[in-house]
Structure formats: C-alpha cells, structure tokens
C-alpha cells in the first residue's frame, strides 16, 4: 500500500522515515551510501554516490541511485543530467526512460520529454502508461504560451532557503508549515538534510501581504517530528493539525532484509473554549499501524470534513475521503470522495472555496509536471470533471495547497518552481487589471549565417529563474511575450546543435505602453575546431577553484553538453603574462582541470572532455611580458574557452 511521502520541497503527507535498528558502520563508501539510501536519507546518500560516479566508468546502479536521490530531493536539474547518461548505458532498464521523461517535464522541456516518453512506449508497448504525461506535455506548451491573467508574487517576507508551504488564512493571521533553520534545532530529517517541519504563523494584511513570521505559540508544535499543515473553521476556534505519528507503533517496512519503521501521519483536532486552547484530540479514524490521515478541509457549511488518506478501499496512492458531522458532534464513518476526482496516483491538499468549489492537487491527471492544481464542483462523492488551473498557477514543478482568501481571484498557493527563494515557497496570487500594455518581441538568429532561426525554445524568466512563459520561435524566428510593469526579465533561447544565447531586459520605470525588442544569436556547434569563449569565468588570484559566479556560467555549458550528447570538447584555460611563464602554464592546467572536474560532478562524462592549460601562450592583445597594461587588458587574457573536438 502506497504511503504518503514528504520530499525535499513538497508532496504528499509528510512522512518521517528512519531506521529501526542501526547496522554496524561499514568502511566501504558504496555500502554506506546504500545503507543511507535504504534508510531514505537521500541528502546524505547523494554525497556518497557522487564520489562513486565521478570516475571514467561509473557503475549504472550508482548513477541510478544518485539520480533517484536528486529526484527525491527535488534537484531536477542534476537529476536530468544523470538520467541523460543513464539511458545511454546499454544495460539501462526501459523504466529509466519514464523517470527521465518525468524529470524533463518537471524542467519544462516538454518536446524532449515527449520524445523520451514515446521512446518508452515504443520499446515496451505500454502506451497507456505514459498517456497522461504525453497529454500534459501538449497542454503545457499551449498554456505557457497563453498564460491566464493571474499574477503571482513570491512572499519573500516569510519564505526562506528551506521549505514553507500550505498557507491557511485565519483573520489577520496566516498559519503555514515550514522548516526551521537547522541552527535552531538538533533534529534533522535524513530525507532532506533539513529540520523537521513546524507550524509557523505570520501577520496577514488586507492585501494578502505577509509579515513577522515566527513559530506558532499556544503549544501547537508539541511533537519532535513533522508538525503541519494546519486548517480550521471560519470562527477560528477549531484547528485541524496534520502531524507525524511520534510513537513506536507505526508501520514496519522491510528492504533488503532490514526493517524500517515508517512513521505515518495522523490528524488531530484542537478546540478553543472560553478563549483557551484545549488539549488536542485524535481524529477517530487515525490508524497509524495501517495508514496515514491528514490534510483536512471543511465544507462551506462546516458539516463535511474532507481529508487525504491511503486507507484501504481507495483507487490507489492517496485519495480524498470525507466524513460528515453527526448531531452529537461525532464524525460518520469515512467515505471515498469517488472516481470523479480520485485516480490511481496521489490526490493531496484539498481545500474548499467560498462557493463550495473543491481545489486539490494530483499527479494522476494530465498536467504540466509534478503535482498540478485542479478544481471541481460538487460535494461528497459526486464531482464534475476536474479542470486544470493552467499556467501560471500551475508550473512544471509541484504546485499545491491552493486556498482562496477574500475574493475568488486572490489567495495563496505553494510551489517548488524554479526562481523561488528556497525549496517549497508560498506565493500569493491575484488578478489585476492591466493599466499599461507591455510586450517583448524578439527574433532568433543563426549567429554564423545571420539567417533567422526557427523552432528555437525561448524561455522568459522573471525575478531570477521563475519561468514566466515559454514558446518556440516561429518559422520566421519571431517570438512574442506579454510583460508586467516594474519587473526584471531574462530571455533565453536554446536549440539542439547550437550554443544558447540570452539577454536581460527590464520594464522598471516604464509608465506607458511599449514593446521591447531583442535579437538572440545562437552559435552553431557543428564545426570541428570551433572555439567559443565562456564569458565571465573568473578565478581568485593565484587560485584554481571554481567560484560561485563561475559555476553559474559553467552550468550553461553543462546544459549544452547534456542537450548535445555527441559533443566532445577541449576546455582550455589561459592566464595573463604576469608571473613566471612555467608557473602560469601549471596554473592554467590546474584551472582547466577544475572546470572538467566541475562538469563531471554535474554528470558530464569525463571521456567527453579534454583539459588544456595554455598559460600565456595565446594572448588576445599586446600585453606580453614586460608590456605595461591596464587591469582590464590583463583580465581579457585570463579566460576559459571550449573548442569543439567532435559533434
């Protein structure tokens, strides 16, 4: 029976896994990594597997488990790179194609995902197994090219580098679940490497603005493991709290002849009487030895309580169930909310809107990737066909915990989409009337020929790495996006066989309607011997380590190598003329080696790269030994380039 799982950034009902008995420490790195993997300590296991795979011929299972760790930790960028290598291995199982396709989809690479998923269907004959994913890829491309009018705002006042999710507004207070800073607690969750969840509160303003986050008082955080999320009634005197069962009678699972205790979820109810919160009461249908219960939501008349469970009798995974209030205040026996909304996958985070509409997240219907938010009208076990809320409320990542606060057009969602402040983040949403019309019109070109380049994948980012829109350039190379006022953007164009190009733009200060125009020039990679410079790869003086700013640039090269699997390159490092010639030659070789090692750590095969240190042998200007030059002139010679060896 499927269990609820709390991963790095979201999903499911927040499980806590830990070993029931510690095996003796083994000195072998692979044995330690495997043990941590089996104990669901993915963050720690990944560190071990990474050391095992940065060799010339890594084992397939080590790569598979590292990729799984990255998926469980919601590090889909690195997971994609490793799956690209995994499926290239002749011994790779066809099931890896599904996993690779899902990761590509989560990274909003829908065309590539379709190819991989269709390859799985062709190899196995299991077309139905990927039908939802393929349909979601097609829909997602349409939705991203034509977003709804919703405007999302990352609530940076309360979001951190850790996870915050499941906002529940209650008057002028917002409850939510979050991971405290690890410095504030000595307990961490091996799955993520972060602290166990606690219940937080924040101030809630009239325009849904949030402030003053802090851990909740009133003894809400009563247990050592995960606490939250929280919902309640309209009066604010009843709270429904999801928590990890803290006792020793949870389910026992067995893997590789070792036993692990699986701490299931349970639902507790707290009531305020005469202004004082009473002790929490257990929901009568908790059954921690067999299944989990959590994620409560009251109907508008507060006579029906919906919740999520993997109890027997469902359609698979976690389903939405409900109970009704009896005259004596007790709850009726649970009933499944039915096949109209439940699927063989996971249904999670139900919420009821002011008009009775059900909002929930599922991975079992065609969507953009991960969990998508859907709506349905009805009650009890009778519901209309679920409707996807589309982009931008949904994204390629996990989107969940939709809640309306005030008008039907405003509220909160949770998401681990790219560009957030940390892991899961809380976003507010609204639908605002547009005062001025701003747009971006662009053209993609082949940099070598100057001809317009069709079918380039063009992605618009705002505020860092948040995807605002995505589309393919048309036959004439043109693309078009609507923009918002007062925002910074970056637009990126990629195409197989070309090195990407991007540029930044801004609508800050624009007070009247305007169309901004850009040209993106993609450099073809097909020419053997072609040299491309990696701009802004800087090193500390006399150092060879990869700096954080350099890593961001190298990540683009990682993507190029990953998207062009036959590409082989030479990475050449160059110094300026200052210093002893032989020392500069050695320093440049160490720097070139560092670049190669970094790319290997990100999943690029070492046999596709050659490191070459040229020292000061290939200066770009007059600044040879003994020539007086400016700092900027010397800087121009300190560079890293890559040369195409084969494609």
* pLDDT exceeds 80 at position 20: no
Percent of the chain topping pLDDT 70: 90
Domain boundaries, the chain: 150-431, 438-523, 531-646
| 87-115 pLDDT per residue, tens | 999 999 999 999 999 999 999 999 999 99
pLDDT computed for residue 263 by the predictor: 64
Residue 255: the pLDDT is 41
Identify the CATH homologous superfamily for domain 531-646. OmpA-like domain (3.30.1330.60)
The whole-number pLDDT of residue 295 equals 96
- pLDDT for 285 beyond 90: yes
Q: CA-to-CA distance for 218 and 207, rounded, in angstroms?
A: 26
pTM above 0.85, yes or no: no
37 within 8 A of 19, measured Cβ to Cβ = no
pLDDT of 533 reads 80
Cα distance between residue 169 and residue 205, in whole Å = 10
- Hey, how many other C-beta atoms are within 10 angstroms of the C-beta on 184? 9
CB neighbour class for 118 (10 Å; exposed up to 12, middle 13-18, buried from 19): middle
What's the rounded mean pLDDT across residues 443-467? 93
CA–CA gap between residue 13 and residue 293 (Å, rounded): 8
> What's the rounded mean pLDDT across residues 53-60?
91
The residues, any chain, with a CB within 8 Å of residue 413's CB and separated by 6 or more, are 152, 373, 393, 399, 400, 401, 402, 403, 426, 427, 429
DSSP, collapsed to helix, strand or coil, labels residue 130 as helix
Q: What pLDDT does residue 259 have?
A: 32
Per-residue pLDDT band for 191 (boundaries 50, 70, 90) equals low
The region of weakest confidence among 98-102, 198-202, 256-260, 622-626 is 256-260
Residue 428 pLDDT level (bands cut at 50, 70, 90): very high
Residue 599 has pLDDT above 80, yes or no: yes
The CB-side HSE value for 237 (13 A sphere, CA atoms) comes to: 6
- Stretch 477-502: mean pLDDT: 93
In whole angstroms, give the CA distance from residue 416 to residue 419.
9
Cis peptide before 392 (omega within 30 of 0): yes
User: Higher model confidence: residue 542 or residue 280?
Assistant: 280
Instruction: Report how far residue 292's alpha carbon sits from residue 539's, in angstroms, rounded to the nearest whole number.
Output: 52
What per-residue confidence (pLDDT) applies to 27? Answer: 47
β-strands 438-446, 514-524: how paired? parallel
Question: Looking at residue 566, what is its pLDDT?
Answer: 87
Contact 126, 94 (CB under 8 A): no
Residue 248 is predicted with a pLDDT of 55
Q: Tokens 């089996």 belong to which residue?
A: 38
Query: In this predicted model, which residue has the larger pLDDT, 33 or 541?
Result: 33
Arithmetic mean of pLDDT, 58-86: 94
Query: Which whole number is the average pLDDT over 511-521?
Result: 95
pLDDT of residue 596: 93
Q: How far apart are CA 517 and CA 406, in angstroms?
A: 38
For domain 438-523, give its CATH number from 2.60.40.1120, 2.60.120.470, 1.20.59.20, 3.40.50.10610: 2.60.40.1120
Question: 359 with 386: CB under 8 angstroms?
Answer: no
CA distances from 583 to 588, 621, 631 (A): 9, 20, 20
Higher pLDDT, 179 or 307: 307
**pLDDT surpasses 70 at 81:** yes
DSSP per position, 335-396 = EE--TTT--SS-EEEEEE-TTS-EEEEESSSS-SSSSEEEEE-EETTEEPPPEE--TTTS-S
Choosing among 3.20.20.370, 3.40.605.10, 2.120.10.30, 2.40.50.140, the CATH entry for 150-431 is 2.120.10.30
**Predicted local confidence at residue 637, as pLDDT:** 87
**What local confidence, expressed as pLDDT, does residue 425 receive?**
96
């Amino acid at each position: 029976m499927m269990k609820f799982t709390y991963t790095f950034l979201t999903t499911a009902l927040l499980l806590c896994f830990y070993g029931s008995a510690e095996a003796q420490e083994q000195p072998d790195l692979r044995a330690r990594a495997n043990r941590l993997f089996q104990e669901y300590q993915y963050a720690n296991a990944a560190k071990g597997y990474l050391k095992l795979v940065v060799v010339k011929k890594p084992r397939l299972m080590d790569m598979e488990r590292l990729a799984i760790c990255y998926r469980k930790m919601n590090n889909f960028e690195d997971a994609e790179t490793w799956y690209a290598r995994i499926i290239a291995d002749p011994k790779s199982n066809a099931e890896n194609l599904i996993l690779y396709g899902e990761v590509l989809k989560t990274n909003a690479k829908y065309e590539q995902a379709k190819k991989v998923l269709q390859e799985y269907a062709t190899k196995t004959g299991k077309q139905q197994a990927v039908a939802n994913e393929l349909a979601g890829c097609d829909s997602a491309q349409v939705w991203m090219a034509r977003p709804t009018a919703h405007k999302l705002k990352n609530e940076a006042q309360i979001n951190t580098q850790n996870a915050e999710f499941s906002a529940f507004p209650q008057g002028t207070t917002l409850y939510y679940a979050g991971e405290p800073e690890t410095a504030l607690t000595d307990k961490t969750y091996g799955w993520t490497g972060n602290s166990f969840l606690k219940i937080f509160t924040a101030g809630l303003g009239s325009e849904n603005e949030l402030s003053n986050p802090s851990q909740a008082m009133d003894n809400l955080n009563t247990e050592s493991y995960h606490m939250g999320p929280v919902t309640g009634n309209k009066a604010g005197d009843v709270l429904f709290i999801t928590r990890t069962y803290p006792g020793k009678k949870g389910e026992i699972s067995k893997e590789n002849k070792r036993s692990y205790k699986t701490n299931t979820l349970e639902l507790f109810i707290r009531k305020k009487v005469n202004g004082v919160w009473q002790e929490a009461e257990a929901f009568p249908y908790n059954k921690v030895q067999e299944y989990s219960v959590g994620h409560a939501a009251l109907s508008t008349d507060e006579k029906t309580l919906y919740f999520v469970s993997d109890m027997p009798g469902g359609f698979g995974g976690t389903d939405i169930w409900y109970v009704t209030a009896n005259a004596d205040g007790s709850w009726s026996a649970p009933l499944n909310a039915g096949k109209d909304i439940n699927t063989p996958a996971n249904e999670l985070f139900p919420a009821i809107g002011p008009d009775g509409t059900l909002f929930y997240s599922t991975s079992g219907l065609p969507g953009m990737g991960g969990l998508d938010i859907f709506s349905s009208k009805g009650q009890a076990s009778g519901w209309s066909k679920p409707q996807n809320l589309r982009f931008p409320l949904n994204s390629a990542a996990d989107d969940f915990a939709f809640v309306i606060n005030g008008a039907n057009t405003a509220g909160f969602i949770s998401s681990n989409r790219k560009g957030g402040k940390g892991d899961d983040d809380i976003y507010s949403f609204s639908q605002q009337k547009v005062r001025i019309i701003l747009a971006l019109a662009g053209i993609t070109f082949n940099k070598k020929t100057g001809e317009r380049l069709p079918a380039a994948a063009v992605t618009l980012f705002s505020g860092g790495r948040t995807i605002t829109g995505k589309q393919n350039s048309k036959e004439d190379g043109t693309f078009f996006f609507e923009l918002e006022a007062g925002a910074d953007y970056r637009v990126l164009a990629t195409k197989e066989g070309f090195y990407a190009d991007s540029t930044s733009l801004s609508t800050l200060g624009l007070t009247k309607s305007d169309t901004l125009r850009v040209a993106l020039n993609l450099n073809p990679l097909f020419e053997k011997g072609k040299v491309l410079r990696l701009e802004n790869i800087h090193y500390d003086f006399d150092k060879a380590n990869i700096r954080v700013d350099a890593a961001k640039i190298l990540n683009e090269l990682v993507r190029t190598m990953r998207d062009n699997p036959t590409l082989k390159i030479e990475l050449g490092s160059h110094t300026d003329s200052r210093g002893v010639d032989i020392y500069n030659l050695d320093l440049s070789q160490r720097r070139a080696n560092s670049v190669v090692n970094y790319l290997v750590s990100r999943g690029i095969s070492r046999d596709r790269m050659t490191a070459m240190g040229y020292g000061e042998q290939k200066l770009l200007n007059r600044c040879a030994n003994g020539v007086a030059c400016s700092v900027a002139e010397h800087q121009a010679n300190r560079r890293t380039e890559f040369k195409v060896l084969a494609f």
